Amino acid sequence: MNASPTVPAAAPSDVTEHPLVHDVNQEHSDSLSPVEKFCKKVADSTGAPLALGIAILFQAIWIPLGIITKFDPFPFTLLLTFSNVVQLILIFILAVGQRQSSAHAELRAEHDHDSISRLLYHQELQERILIQIASRVECDVEDIKKMVAQLASQDAAP
């Protein structure tokens, strides 16, 4: 029986595969209701240049057509009514979309804060380990301790 030692699998090279890294975009998307997803899609599309072009084109066609056919003559009451109704509906849809964007940004900031806190804690542990290693191999670590203390005091100052 040949017992060969097992070689551990190489660590994933993709940082997003780390167990402490959260996919904030997916987490936020999963938390949205179908109505909120619809509002977000509408809010995203109304802010696009294509939406502006369509609105301008629609009015550019409506005005001459209304004058020629006398269907909606000047002052274009029907056009103004349609446009006001669409604007009232879009106000609420955009408000919901903005609220979702704000919630997403807040979630992203919380996860960033958690990740940075873990990184700083990890870095402090590495500094301690490196100082202990340097002490054991009988290196002069006083300069290193002074630099670490100086960096810590600079970070603590407002």
Give pLDDT, residue 18. 62
Evaluate if residue 7 carries a pLDDT over 50.
Answer: no
Give pLDDT, residue 68. 92
**Residue keyed to tokens 């100052």:** 157
Fill in the DSSP letter of residue 138: T
Give pLDDT, residue 8. 47
Q: What average pLDDT does this structure show over 132-156? A: 80
Contacts (Cβ under 8 Å, ≥6 apart) of 90: 42, 46
Q: What average pLDDT does this structure show over 123-141? A: 84
Give me the chain's average pLDDT, please: 83
Evaluate if residue 21 carries a pLDDT over 70.
Answer: no
Q: What average pLDDT does this structure show over 52-71? A: 92
* Percent of the chain predicted with pLDDT > 70: 84
| CA 16 – CA 23 distance, rounded (Å) | 8
Q: One-letter amino acid identity for 28? A: H
| CA 97 – CA 49 distance, rounded (Å) | 18
| CA 108 – CA 51 distance, rounded (Å) | 29
Whole-model pTM? 0.60
